[in-house]
Amino acid sequence: MKIEILFEDSYIIIVNKPNNVLIHNSYYARNIKDDTLLNLLKKQFGNDFYPVHRLDRKTSGVLVLSKQKEHVSVFQELFNSDTIEKTYFGIVRGFFKENVLLNSPVKNPDTKLYKEAETYCEPLQNIELKIPVHPYNNSRYSLVKLKPSTGRMHQLRIHMNKISHPIVGDYKYGDRFHNRMFENEFNCSNLFLHAFEIKFVHPFNKNVILIKASFPDNWKFIFEKFNWKVH
């Protein structure tokens, strides 16, 4: 698998992480034996890279990695100080009709402590399908834009589930009946959460970096099926 490089300079590379690829090995994913993103990049470039932030294994999209270990903390400060702008897209259950600012603490799975988390959610498009999903005779979905101002683990997935609009393909926080429908009807089992865009001021050269990641094939398939367009 060749990883798409979206940006590169002397300090960082920014990649389009595929669905279902771990960034690195971890205790929580100890049973997964596939190549990690870091392994794939090592094979592709012959160099080691150091993640500045993280994406869930099942989330695709923009990921920033440092070329030097000593620079990781410099770039991480952009995330810790909330001076970086991140934009995600998600496909969720139900009709989402108005902009919502979600302020709800999220529990860290390691420390078991709750931390404040904030997500801005904007509805873009919706659809009603004549496909029954328990307990209804039809099914409804919305395309949403998500802009987190904090970076808690599973934040977007937890926040959407809390307002009864879980992300399709989420087997931890989502709706198993809708997940199963997407599998059976569309042959899509991936999580429909994509890190689409990132924007920040480069800490070394002060340039504004704005990077967008194209959607995976399963997203393009659903966009065509639902007649949805993203600009």
Catalytic residues: 56
Q: Tell me the sheet residues that pair with 195.
A: 61, 88
Burial class of residue 229 (count of CB atoms within 10 Å of its CB; 0-12, 13-18, 19+): exposed
